[in-house]
Every structure is written in structure tokens, then in C-alpha cells.
Amino acid sequence: MAFGLYLHFPFCRHQCAYCDFYKETYDRSLESRFYDALRIETELAFQSLRDRDLRTATLYIGGGTPSLTSLDRLHDWLGQAQRLFPRDPAAEFSFEINPESCSRELLQTLLGLGVNRPVFGVQSFSRQLLKLLSRKHELRQVHEAIYLANALGYENYGCDLLYGLPGQTGKMLSSDLDQMTDLAPPHISFYQLTVEPRTELAKLVDSGKLTMPDADFVHALYQAGYEHFKENGYERYEVCSFAKLGGLTVPGRYPHLPEEGSMPSVPYVPGRGPHLPDLACRHNLNYWTGGDYLGLGPSAHSFIGGRRYSNAANLYEYVESLEKGRRPTKEDRSGPTERMFEAIMLGLRTAQGIDRAQFEKRFGRPLSDAIDSRQYELLLNSGHLVDDGDYLRLSDEALILADEITRRLTR
């Protein structure tokens, strides 16, 4: 099973209205304390796991806004991480970037540090919706970021796009979809906007100043996105995840750029299941298939050897604990029942579905023992479920209903 490493960079320039990920306002001296603590945490984590195979197949740096980081500090930490958790030569290395903080210098430096999969937080091409989300980038900065990624030879990179926003019309989504596929990123994450408690968006919705679209309309928006991506050469391998077929970046509106960069795409076709696109995010696939991963930084989560734990979602508590030589972790006490539910839920969200052999190996019991037989038969007869003997998955039409179907199967 692959081993993934995640780093949560806990700083942003400003607070987006919809975001509930842990972060602090960027401060250079506070960032310095964070990296000092991170080096301690990395060493302590290694000491606790040194009896395991710690070769890293995927590395993901998210946040927050990692593109604000001190590149010198990042370089130093990556050297330590490489020494303790050596990366496979073909490792996938993702790095989140806000378009307004993207530059040629940043992308060139990241390339030198081993990043081979930048992820750009586009969210929308509508100025009206970007303002509602409190996003600060200009549309030209999105185009510049994609141009630079192609020009510098990144064969794999991703873009995030949101749907189901207050005031978003079908025409607005259609424009977003057209502009996204015109840029032809190798990977698109198509997320439904959700109202998270204690965010500015939640306050506006609770006060009646904003109204979220109803479920049927949101479903229609998603279906429009799915059909559009499919027509433009993308394969859906998870409810929200679409990868370009063919394995190479398509130059899109920049035909003068080279089609082939210096980094090969890395196929990922686990088990015996249906094909997965070469440009699927392997880090996320490791999450969804129950692989081990170590999370570092405030609020980061880890799952290793069936044990789940998380770091304190407070930078000051995180730093103070590590300065005293203690890891700021909290154990998740949920047991096998919760783990099986999680495995079924995540598996059914993927186009591949649940690997029966892997499920039985992991939990010591067949998948049939963990699901409601009556609901299984009903969903199989209705065409929502597809069972080929090795994998249990949802039909294309039913994939968006994965969470509801999981609840029915496991009640």
C-alpha cells in the first residue's frame, strides 16, 4: 500500500467567505516559528514510525495558501523530509497555488524542488462569484498561471472549480465550464460549494442575505459539468474528480507551447478494477482506498496502520507543544464499524468502486457482511449498483448519489 505525506501550511493573506480550513493571517516571524516546529514534528513522527516502510509515493502541500511560503524555509524542510521519508523517483508532488500569488519564479523554483503537480484554486471565472467568495485573483492571473505551467513543462497540474453558488445561474456555470476546458488543464476538481459553520458565508445565509440553490438545481449543475467534461475528453474517476485522457497536457489556447515537458506522467492502475486515468490524483486515491498517510502541520490528519489521529487546529498550541518535545496529536477513538462505513462511502464515490478482495483483507470479513442485503438487491435491480464480482460500484448515473446510497446500504 502506498504511503502519502501531507503538509498543511496554515497561512493566508485574507479569509475567504466560504473556507473553514484552519489558517492564520500570514506573518513572516510566525511562519519562521511554524517551520521550526515543523522540523521537530517531522523528526518525532519519523521516530514513531521508523519500523515501517516510509518511502513516500505522494507528497501534497495544501493549506492555507502554500504559495505564500518562504521558499528557502520550504527547501530546508523538504531536505529533512527527503532524508527521513525518501520519495520514490516517480512520486507525485502536489502543491496548491492561488493564482494571484503565482509567478514564473515560484513555478520554476517549485519545479527545482521536485513539485510535478501544481494545483490552482480557480473556483470561478465570474467576477461576481469571485467577489462573493472573497477571492482576490483577477482572471488574467488564472491564464498567466496556466500559461506558465505549460511553458515550464509541467505535464500534470490541476484546477479547482466550484458550483452551486448563491446566485449562480446555468448560463454562468456554462461560461465557467467553457473557460475551464478552453484552458485544458490535465485535471479538474469540480466541487459543490457547501456552507460550513462559522464562516462568513454561513452568516450571510443564516441572516437571509444570501440564498443557497435548491438540491434539484445543484444536481442539474453537476450533471451539466459532468457531461461537459466528458465531451471535452475528461474521465470522471471520483464524484468530484476529472482527469484528461491521454496522459499529456493539451496546449489548449496556447498552441505554440511544447506538448511534452520534462516530467513523465505516472500511470496508477491499482488492483484488477476498471482503468483509472494516468493523470488521476494519486494522493487522493490513496486516501480513498485506505492507504497510509502522515499529516504534518496544524489541523493535519493522519491514518497509519488503521489508526487515525489529528493535530491541534491551533498554530500556537501546535508550536508550544512541539517546543516542549510533544507531538500535538489527538487520537480518533472510532472503531472497525466506523472504518468499514468509511471504506464503503469512499469506495462508492470512485468510478472504480470497492475492491472486494482488498476490503476483506483489510477488515477480515467480506463486503457482503457489512452491507444490507435487501438494499443491495434493490439497488442492484434498479441499476444503481453494478457488481462484477471483484468490484462493487455505482452506475454513472448513480455516482452523484453515493452518500445517500452508502447510508442505505449500511443502515
pLDDT in tens, 114-123: 999 999 999 9
276 and 374 both lie in a single domain: no
271 and 382 both lie in a single domain: no
What does the pLDDT look like over 312-351, one tens digit per residue? 999 999 999 999 999 999 999 888 899 999 999 999 999 9
Q: Give domain status of residue 315, yes or no.
A: no
Domain final residue pick, 288, 323, 347 = 288
Q: Which candidate, 176, 150, 65, 161, places its Cα nearest to that of 122?
A: 161
User: Between β-strands 241-244 and 234-238, what pairing exists: parallel, antiparallel or unpaired?
Assistant: antiparallel
111 and 232 both lie in a single domain: yes
Q: Which candidate, 334, 292, 187, places its Cα nearest to that of 249?
A: 187
Q: Give domain status of residue 234, yes or no.
A: yes
245 and 342 both lie in a single domain: no
371 and 227 both lie in a single domain: no
245 and 388 both lie in a single domain: no
284 and 356 both lie in a single domain: no
| pLDDT for 200 | 94
| pLDDT for 334 | 86
What does the pLDDT look like over 36-67, one tens digit per residue? 999 999 999 999 999 998 999 999 999 999 99
| pLDDT for 287 | 94
The total of structural domains in the chain comes to 2
255 and 383 both lie in a single domain: no
C-alpha distances (whole Å) from 365 to each of 354, 356, 370, 410 are 14, 10, 8, 15
Domain final residue pick, 288, 323, 346 = 288
Q: Give domain status of residue 297, yes or no.
A: no
162 and 274 both lie in a single domain: yes
| pLDDT for 257 | 28
| pLDDT for 247 | 54
Domain final residue pick, 268, 288, 308 = 288
Percentage, residues of the chain above pLDDT 90: 88
Q: Give domain status of residue 309, yes or no.
A: no
**CATH number of the CATH domain containing 268:** 3.20.20.70
**C-alpha span between 81 and 55 (Å, rounded):** 11
Mean pLDDT for the chain overall: 91
| pLDDT for 66 | 97
361 and 281 both lie in a single domain: no
pTM of the model: 0.91
Average pLDDT over residues 10-35: 94
Q: Give domain status of residue 305, yes or no.
A: no
Q: For 136, what's the count of Cα atoms within 13 Å in the CB-facing half-sphere?
A: 11
Average pLDDT over residues 235-241: 97
Q: Give domain status of residue 79, yes or no.
A: yes
Q: Give domain status of residue 321, yes or no.
A: no
**CATH number of the CATH domain containing 398:** 1.10.10.920
| pLDDT for 335 | 86
**How would DSSP label each residue in 16-51?**
-TT--S--EE--HHHHHHHHHHHHHHHHHHHHHHTT
Average pLDDT over residues 156-166: 98
Average pLDDT over residues 132-155: 96
| pLDDT for 261 | 31
| pLDDT for 275 | 58
Domain membership of residue 194 as a residue range: 3-288
274 and 342 both lie in a single domain: no
What does the pLDDT look like over 255-314, one tens digit per residue? 232 232 332 333 333 333 455 778 999 999 999 999 999 999 999 999 998 899 999 999
Q: Give domain status of residue 324, yes or no.
A: no
349 and 256 both lie in a single domain: no
- The long-range contacts involving 229-238, CB below 8 angstroms and separated by at least 24 positions, are 229/177, 229/181, 229/188, 229/190, 232/181, 232/184, 234/181, 234/188, 235/277, 235/351, 236/351, 236/396, 236/399, 237/276, 237/277, 237/280, 237/350, 237/351, 237/352, 238/284, 238/288, 238/349, 238/350, 238/351
Q: Is the pLDDT of residue 179 over 90?
A: yes
